Structure 1
Amino acid sequence: MPTTRRSFLRSSALVASLPLLGTSRASAQLPPADSVVKPNPQGGLLFDRADVPHIRANLDLPRFADLRRELTEVDLADDRHFLEHELRLTNRVIDQARARKILERSAFVYAIYAQQPHLDIARLALRRLMDYPTWDYFIEGGTDIIGFQRAPEATIATCCALDWLGDELTTEEIAEAEDNIATKGAPACYLSLYGLKYPDRVRGWGFDRARDDIAIDIDFSRWPLILNATNLKIIPTCALGMAATWLHGRHPEANKWLEMSRQSAKAFSVMYGNDGSYDEGIGYWGYTTLHLALLAEVLHRRLGIDDRALINYPGTSRYAAVMTMPTLGAPVSNPHETKAYTATPKGTIVPENDTVNFGDSGVHGVDATVTPWIGRVADDPISSHISQHLGGMRHYHGAIWYDRDAPTAPLPDEWFDVRLNNDWVISRTGWTAADTVVALRSGGPANHEHADRNSVIFKAHGERLFHDPFKASYIPTHPQWVLRLTEAHTAVLIDGQGHQYHDGSEGTNSSWASAKVRAYATGPGWMTVTSEAAPAYQLVNDTVQRVERSAVLLKPDVLILLDRVTLDDAHPAPVQVRFQVYNEDGRGEAQATATGFTIVRPHAALTASVHGLPSLSTRVDRHDLPATSGVFPFAEVESAAAARHTILTVSAARATRGPAPLTEVTATATGWTVSVTQASTTQRVAIDATPDLPSIIVS
């Protein structure tokens, strides 16, 4: 009896052979159009059969150990029970997302390892995904589904499943899956992108509450404007392009979908700075950049279209690198977090994956999945180095693209001090947990931002010493919404009030708050930056004339902050400078002293002295949050009511059992001189606080 392809796959000698990619049976479901180029019949969407040994070898590397476990060490019986008995066709936020994840995971595992149980689960997940009458919970005009998350994700997963499962699907399964892409996926993605392109033509967006049980409330009236600059644009952009590619030449709308996808990607590319920086923060950078690269890869592989340089990809790898900030300690989980959807971030804090977490950057670290692709496509050895050493490989695409033999180059020393195009400033001594990192959040508003202008993060000796809290809620009715506000950042308050921020009724969109770096300089072992945030505070307090922060890092362990606040003479007010303490593990402490405050963590401690006029006082407190959220302490320096405030904070960090830097602060007629001795090296900082732009000279 001749050997069939199915028996060939199941033979013990070739148990890990790949199912046919780019199946001829799938191509046979719709007649090709003579007016368009047919898809490359030899090319898989992301990889070919010949690539499987390479992918499998990558998954065996320590770099992919966590991902391999997530892919293969799964409870398929639990997945089956969920799909057959628990999945709710009225719940897309949680249940449809889980079904989609199961489909994409098990289809990929079968493609790489040919494990029959994963094929069975993938087919069941595909069946259940197609049981949903619509693929998203957003709607326009009360009638038409629009796709921002679930429809794009389902479209991508279904296209990949068709590619990877190949002849293991019946003709009927293939036809129905392609029909779902063409009716539930691509049109929803197209309509959302059309609305972003022509916001004046939108007939009103909202939740499809007739078919979905989503419980949160959002004001959608400005969403056609807001979402145009967010990650929620690139996901349907990628999905629509993938659908157009899969059905290219076989569906009358495919060319229209392809054009819209490419236009949308090009329009979105300007959301990245020319240097590759990304305003939504490092937590959303990985998700967004991965989907931009996925679209480019699929178009290039299948259609020969080269959109692989829409952004500065090597530059955006640099952005990812400089946002890394590993710390020491054990992973930390909040036992009070539940699986119920609360529009509030959850998850385990893993110190070794820590980041400069401006905004909603979350606790999951830098997702480096896209960096091996950048290394290959841009011929960039630094991106290849990043792919091997920084962040984590959170998605299977990394195993497809990773090349352990790719040429690499170390991160250059000039990346130790970086002012990004969006006016975020990061200075460091190195890339390990023991190294120092200082980050200042200047610049403009962005989606997923916090009210954090001029806020500072300070990490030394493996510990967050000046903290930016994790897990701020996305909705204003949740207690952890307060973690978004200025009062929960290492920043300045004027009579207890921070700068302007929105009320959350539209989601996590941008505020109007801006700051601007006025001066930035670096030298051997030091960095200085001055940022003005008055425009952000003036939006809520018209007596404000100046809210300026200067930061001086004397590497490795001394951070000097100079805060100058000027109000109308007729409206004196007290000013507070807050310093947040990392305590998500219950091991952070702050204490007020006669001259300032101290912060103590297991591996490091910080001693701060404060100086200024008018009189200063120091206290410690905690944010008013329920015990289930955790305890969030802070130290606060208050300058008594006045129209002009000048506050100098000199902070010295040390390892728990290590020597402390020696600091001496001397008042002068125009400011201070700070003398610092670290490891037998003495530096002097002369600060003149009287000019419009403070003079800071390091010698």
Structure 2
Amino acid sequence: MNTSSRRTFLKSSAALAASLPFAHLSLRAAAPNAAPNAQGGLLFDAADLPRIRANTQHPRFAKLWREMTEADLAADTQFLLHAVRYNNHVADMMRVRQIVERSSFVYAVNHDAAHLAVTKLAIRQLLNYPKWDYFLEGGKKVIGLQRASEATIALAYALDCLVDVLTPAEVAEIENNIATKGAPACFTTLYGMKYPERVKGWGFDPEDDYPQAFRVSLARWPLILNSTNLKVIPTAALGIAGVLLHGRHPQAASWLELARSSAKAFSTMYGSDGAYDEGASYWGYTTMHLAMFAETLWRRLGIDDRNLINYPGTVRYALALTMPTKGTGFDPTQAPRNLAVPTLKVDPTNDIVNFSDSLTASDVSIAAWVARTHRDPLAQHIAKYTADMKTPFGLIWFDEATPSAAPERAQQDAHLSNDIVVSRTGWAAADSVVALRSGGPANHEHADRNSVIFKAHGERLFHDPFRAGYSYTTPRWKLRLTAAHTALLINGQGHQYHDGHEGTNASAAWARVQSFKTGPGWMTVTSEATEAYQLVSPEVQRVDRTLVYLKPDVLLILDRVALTAAQPVQLRFQVYNDDKQGAATATGATFHITRPFAHLQASVTGNTPVSCATGQHDLPASEGVHPFVEATSPAATEHTLLTVAAAHSTGEQPSGLTVTREGANWCVRGTHRGLKVDVTINPTDELPALTIAT
């Protein structure tokens, strides 16, 4: 049967299949489970429901609960009956799984009959999928990277949520599908990552309708994905399947063993402080799944892996990357859908330090689990007040009775173990944040070494792009490159980056923090990125960047470049304009960035004459206007460039800061919004010598 006729047949049979009872497929369902606490829920028991019901009324969860309970069930039903395509896993299977996850939980909490009906319909459709993912090994065996993993987890938890309404036959069929379509696919994935030399070749399923234009080479994926979120999701799913079927399926013990060894191996991807390399958004997704597996393992089998990583530290990592702003945000879901471009909404209240593919927000559902499990008051504060909670797991784990404590002032300056540096004045939208992207390669990275984000007076003033393309075939792939960041170019070229033919995997580019210091009202950091630029141009001898942040709203950026042959250097400063409210002007060696709530005035001084100009990235009009300022230093073998930037609220008049040369020293003096500025920089030393007068 060809793909098109097969699709037509599957769609037309959906309504009939959905109306049938679950088929009776035995999975030794009557066999006793001798494991301790075997009858307990995977994540919660009936005794937890009063607390969970109270959480649904908590202001923290009001929006989430309203979205869940008021979902358009009629539209979901129409989709499930008439629109599900069994060869579409990226969109359709994900939606089916999300319906199962949402409506089964709603039923567990309030016994809503309409949600029960739609979740049973969605379960039927998940079971109808002949394959649970769209990747194959050797053209035959399904690899469970996301869809098979997510379906396994959703169905396992749905068994808990629907425990009082599913018949033994229905339970048996669900468990049988987990055991035949879910767990084996996840096992194949993790086995291939553990023993990549034994893999017979990973590739896309030719029967799936995933666009050919976005199909990258998977030849090295067993190696590439071994250190990414796409290892943790099948790890959690395989482990949860092993716990669910412990003592009742002959492979359950081997599933559990591989899942635990995979989780342990992946734990080293977190720094000792809990820092995570794939950015804030992937952090939430990944860490939550690690915790889901650990909690299930503890509740059902009494095995305690709840300290596998520094969980209290990792929620502090998320806290360090929070950056709420002001404004109305931006909703890209209104634009035409492109599977290779993220479509998450930009919500200013949940804005983040979005280096690389950090998307637009982080989900801190895991903080509620950390607070309860580790009795961590700061994690509880994060769970109550920081970022967003977008999953039912936050509702399940949150406990209002857990003590809470706000972050201390010392946590306003963070040098994370992955060399990301963040300095701030506080945690509110009106507070200021400066962030530097130093560090090494990682999955989902951009070509963004030594790039800077600067937020002040509620606005992104030095921006990092949202929604960069995930496929090199999309125009928005350009937003991954150095030129699309507040970073440095040499003769118009950024540092080393890959071509995207294997996906969004890591490059070979490194930057390393050489110095990090803090004091009353200031932070300084120097990061060296010579190696990253040498991979593109062997003439490069030195590239480093030093930040002097004078809180709340003065930022000095010193860039030093040494070359064996004369070349020009450009500094890029990106303007946030996704909401069409950002603009920039430039005159001589100065520039001005405007946003609705704040402005930024800046000058660039160099050892050669500097000129500033405005531009915008070469993208189709449908992708919006992405403006930037470019400061150019003409061809030379030595470049020393000092950017002096000062932000102020809209309507204020800045006093202005001056830059003078006094021998080898560069001096920045003046007063800005009542802040006396007196900084001396000697850029001739191996590390710039900095003196901040107080």
Q: TM-score, normalised by structure 1?
A: 0.94
Query: In the TM superposition, what are the counterparts of 1:279-428 in structure 2 within 5 Å?
Result: 279-334=277-332, 337-339=335-337, 341-363=338-360, 365-428=361-424
2:354 is paired with a residue whose SS is coil
Please point out which of 206, 227, 239 is paired with 1:241.
Answer: 239
Letter in 1 for 2:518: T
1:459 is matched with which residue? 455
1:544-593 per-position Cα deviation (integer Å, ceiling 9, x unaligned)? 0111100000011100000001100xx21000001000111111111112
Is residue 509 of structure 2 the alignment partner of residue 513 of structure 1? yes
1:638-672 per-position Cα deviation (integer Å, ceiling 9, x unaligned)? 00001110000000110112352542211121131
Structure 1 unaligned segments of length 5 or more: list them: 1-24
1:432 is matched with which residue? 428
1:107-135 per-position Cα deviation (integer Å, ceiling 9, x unaligned)? 11111110111111111111111001110
Structure 2 unaligned segments of length 5 or more: list them: 1-23
> Separation in 2 of the partners of 1:493 and 1:301?
53
2:118 is paired with a residue whose SS is helix
> Separation in 1 of the partners of 2:59 and 2:595?
31
Aligned residues between the structures: 669
- C-alpha deviation, 1:213, in angstroms: 4.4
State whether residues 511 and 528 of structure 2, in contact with CA within 8 Å, keep that contact through their aligned partners in structure 1: yes
Please point out which of 269, 272, 275 is paired with 1:274.
Answer: 272
Is residue 683 of structure 2 the alignment partner of residue 689 of structure 1? yes
1:141 is matched with which residue? 138
Query: In the TM superposition, what are the counterparts of 1:87-102 in structure 2 within 5 Å?
Result: 87-102=84-99
Letter in 2 for 1:696: L
Q: Which moved more, 1:593-602 or 1:555-564?
A: 593-602
Query: In the TM superposition, what are the counterparts of 1:158-169 in structure 2 within 5 Å?
Result: 158-169=155-166
Q: Which moved more, 1:172-181 or 1:441-450?
A: 172-181
Please point out which of 437, 441, 447 is paired with 1:445.
Answer: 441
1:348-372 per-position Cα deviation (integer Å, ceiling 9, x unaligned)? 2111111000011112x12110101
2:41 is matched with which residue? 44
> Separation in 1 of the partners of 2:190 and 2:343?
30
> Separation in 1 of the partners of 2:273 and 2:182?
34
Please point out which of 588, 592, 615 is paired with 1:598.
Answer: 592
State whether residues 38 and 301 of structure 2, in contact with CA within 8 Å, keep that contact through their aligned partners in structure 1: no
Cα–Cα, structure 1 residues 211 and 561, in superposed 2: closer, same or farther, change >3 Å?
Answer: closer
> Separation in 2 of the partners of 1:588 and 1:142?
49
Identical columns (%): 57
> Separation in 1 of the partners of 2:250 and 2:410?
52
1:331-380 per-position Cα deviation (integer Å, ceiling 9, x unaligned)? 212476224x42111132111111000011112x1211010110111111
Letter in 2 for 1:218: V
1:616 is matched with which residue? 610
1:675 is matched with which residue? 669
- Coordinate RMSD, CA, aligned: 1.6
Q: TM-score, normalised by structure 2?
A: 0.94
1:16 is matched with which residue? none
- C-alpha deviation, 1:173, in angstroms: 1.6
State whether residues 32 and 38 of structure 1, in contact with CA within 8 Å, keep that contact through their aligned partners in structure 2: no
1:466-511 per-position Cα deviation (integer Å, ceiling 9, x unaligned)? 0001010000111101000000000000000000101011110000
> Separation in 1 of the partners of 2:55 and 2:651?
41
Cα–Cα, structure 1 residues 660 and 159, in superposed 2: closer, same or farther, change >3 Å?
Answer: same
Cα–Cα, structure 1 residues 85 and 686, in superposed 2: closer, same or farther, change >3 Å?
Answer: same
Cα–Cα, structure 1 residues 676 and 394, in superposed 2: closer, same or farther, change >3 Å?
Answer: farther
State whether residues 27 and 249 of structure 2, in contact with CA within 8 Å, keep that contact through their aligned partners in structure 1: no
> Separation in 1 of the partners of 2:210 and 2:471?
17
State whether residues 36 and 302 of structure 2, in contact with CA within 8 Å, keep that contact through their aligned partners in structure 1: no
> Separation in 2 of the partners of 1:624 and 1:662?
33
> Separation in 2 of the partners of 1:167 and 1:406?
30
Letter in 2 for 1:670: A
Is residue 60 of structure 2 the alignment partner of residue 66 of structure 1? no
Cα–Cα, structure 1 residues 673 and 484, in superposed 2: closer, same or farther, change >3 Å?
Answer: same
2:547 is paired with a residue whose SS is strand
Letter in 2 for 1:123: K
1:473 is paired with a residue whose SS is coil
> Separation in 1 of the partners of 2:362 and 2:339?
24
1:118 is matched with which residue? 115
Please point out which of 579, 586, 590 is paired with 2:573.
Answer: 579
- C-alpha deviation, 1:163, in angstroms: 1.6
> Separation in 2 of the partners of 1:578 and 1:353?
26
Letter in 1 for 2:692: V
> Separation in 1 of the partners of 2:232 and 2:600?
42
Query: In the TM superposition, what are the counterparts of 1:469-488 in structure 2 within 5 Å?
Result: 469-488=465-484
Letter in 2 for 1:30: A
State whether residues 26 and 172 of structure 2, in contact with CA within 8 Å, keep that contact through their aligned partners in structure 1: no
